[in-house]
Structure 1
Amino acid sequence: MKYKSVFDIIGPVMIGPSSSHTAGAARIGRVARTLFEKQPEKVNVSFYGSFAQTYKGHGTDVAIIGGILDFDTYDPRIPNSIKLAEQAGIDITFIEEDAVTDHPNTARIWMTDGTKQLEVVGISIGGGKIEITELNGFELKLSGAHPAILVVHDDKYGAISSVTNILAKYRINIGHMEVARKEVGKTALMVIEVDQNIEEGVIREIQSSPNIIQVTRMVE
């Protein structure tokens, strides 16, 4: 792994003992909250590998719930996040999984508000860095470190180009893009990381394009 600066080695400013198990977990939770777009009523968190073995001692549980409450890695409320979430009416369940995953620091978050559901799988890859590897059954690779849009769309001709043409019109540069689908001709997911935050008007224009079902924006 290559590091861009000494801060990539030291890790982020954070509450807790471990950049991988605490800061990374908080970021996974916060990305899940961003994708859900609101506070959930019920959260199930499944821990795998070393997360499952050490989450209580390393504060992975409070960190991931802190992220779901939209706390940053250095927020002093993180140690009390489970209590704060319960006071806010959020039902929380932690599950220690035995299944072997591709990465030892893996968490699966399922959340609902009674009307919508979201399931996210994230891994903590070291130094507080993360990757979201699955969203509602779609495989993807999302760092959460850059502005991005996630576009759910019908798997039809022209859907992808309609989105990229709009981004080009507004001179928005794409840093990373990938498309995932479960079945040909059904629903697909575009993940597009860009170099600057995308204005709400651009999001509305994308949302109104043919074959676009839902657009979720992640700002830096």
Structure 2
Amino acid sequence: MKYKSVFDIIGPVMIGPSSSHTAGAARIGRVARSLFGREPKWANISLYGSFAKTYRGHGTDVALIGGLLDFETDDQRIIEAIDIANAKGIKVTFIEEDAITDHPNTARVMIGDDMGELELVGISIGGGKIEITELNGFELKLSGHHPAILVVHNDRFGAIADVANVLAKNKINIGHMEVSRKDVGKMALMTIEVDQNIDQELLDELEKLPNILKVTKIVD
């Protein structure tokens, strides 16, 4: 879909008519892109509740794809995001779901390429704010509005303390932290929101710790 004009709205600086349906959607897409670490070759996006009913009229579709293309919420290219994705050879599929979710503005974003895949569930809670509630099967609560570190690790004694000690040594303040695991003693996910951006050297240091499998960051 294409818009013929740029709308002014109350809320964050953005392209589109709705902060919940457009700015929030763009941020969900951009978090997925940040976690994936590169431009995907395909995207299957399931929409629930209000998103499913109004995504064309409110620009949720172009906003999600704009986010996957790493566009900011006020980037005018969002208007043409689906056309841009098509020109790049990115295969995009939208699925309107009937299932009832905890929040009406919910999207399940599945992206991938020949090197891997990522699955993320995000909700737009209003005013352009979002929460990421699931990542590759792990439950979490991530706002997407602060720098964050995601640490995949073996569920072993001392793993959390080791990560916290490295952050303290580097004078990184933790704003929010939680741990999700699928089963006791198996793989787990640490979600750590911090007060400042993280450089690659710190990520490399974290990844060298015992029982740490993968470290990813989301920049503010």
Matches within 5 A, 1:77-96: 77-96=77-96
Q: Any idea what SS the aligned residue of 1:10 has?
A: coil
Give CA deviations for 1:81-109 in whole Å, capped at 9, x if unaligned. Answer: 00100111111000000000000000000
Which residue matches 2:3? none
TM norm structure 1: 0.95
Q: Any idea what SS the aligned residue of 2:215 has?
A: strand
Which residue matches 2:122? 122
User: What CA distance in whole angstroms lies between the structure 1 residues aligned with 2:182 and 2:89?
Assistant: 34
Give CA deviations for 1:41-86 in whole Å, capped at 9, x if unaligned. Answer: 1100000000000000000000000000000101000010001001
| % identical equivalent positions | 69
User: What CA distance in whole angstroms lies between the structure 2 residues aligned with 1:11 and 1:149?
Assistant: 27
Deviation at 1:115, TM superposition (A): 2.2
Which residue matches 2:32? 32
Q: For structure 2, which runs of at least 5 residues remain unmatched after alignment?
A: 1-8
2:138 matches 1:131? no
Which residue matches 1:190? 190
Deviation at 1:18, TM superposition (A): 0.1
Q: For structure 1, which runs of at least 5 residues remain unmatched after alignment?
A: 1-8
User: What CA distance in whole angstroms lies between the structure 2 residues aligned with 1:82 and 1:114?
Assistant: 21
Specify the code of the residue in structure 2 equivalent to 1:123: I
Which residue matches 2:156? 156
Specify the code of the residue in structure 1 equivalent to 2:83: K
User: What CA distance in whole angstroms lies between the structure 1 residues aligned with 2:180 and 2:10?
Assistant: 34
Deviation at 1:10, TM superposition (A): 3.4
User: What CA distance in whole angstroms lies between the structure 1 residues aligned with 2:129 and 2:10?
Assistant: 12
Specify the code of the residue in structure 1 equivalent to 2:124: S
User: What CA distance in whole angstroms lies between the structure 2 residues aligned with 1:122 and 1:140?
Assistant: 10
2:161 matches 1:171? no
User: What CA distance in whole angstroms lies between the structure 1 residues aligned with 2:112 and 2:171?
Assistant: 36
TM norm structure 2: 0.95
Deviation at 1:168, TM superposition (A): 0.4
Specify the code of the residue in structure 1 equivalent to 2:20: S
Specify the code of the residue in structure 1 equivalent to 2:167: L
Deviation at 1:114, TM superposition (A): 1.9
Q: Any idea what SS the aligned residue of 2:164 has?
A: helix
Give CA deviations for 1:123-171 in whole Å, capped at 9, x if unaligned. Answer: 0000000000000010000001001100000011111111000000011
Q: Any idea what SS the aligned residue of 1:168 has?
A: helix
User: What CA distance in whole angstroms lies between the structure 2 residues aligned with 1:10 and 1:112?
Assistant: 34
Q: Any idea what SS the aligned residue of 2:76 has?
A: coil
Which residue matches 2:207? 207
Q: Any idea what SS the aligned residue of 1:33 has?
A: helix
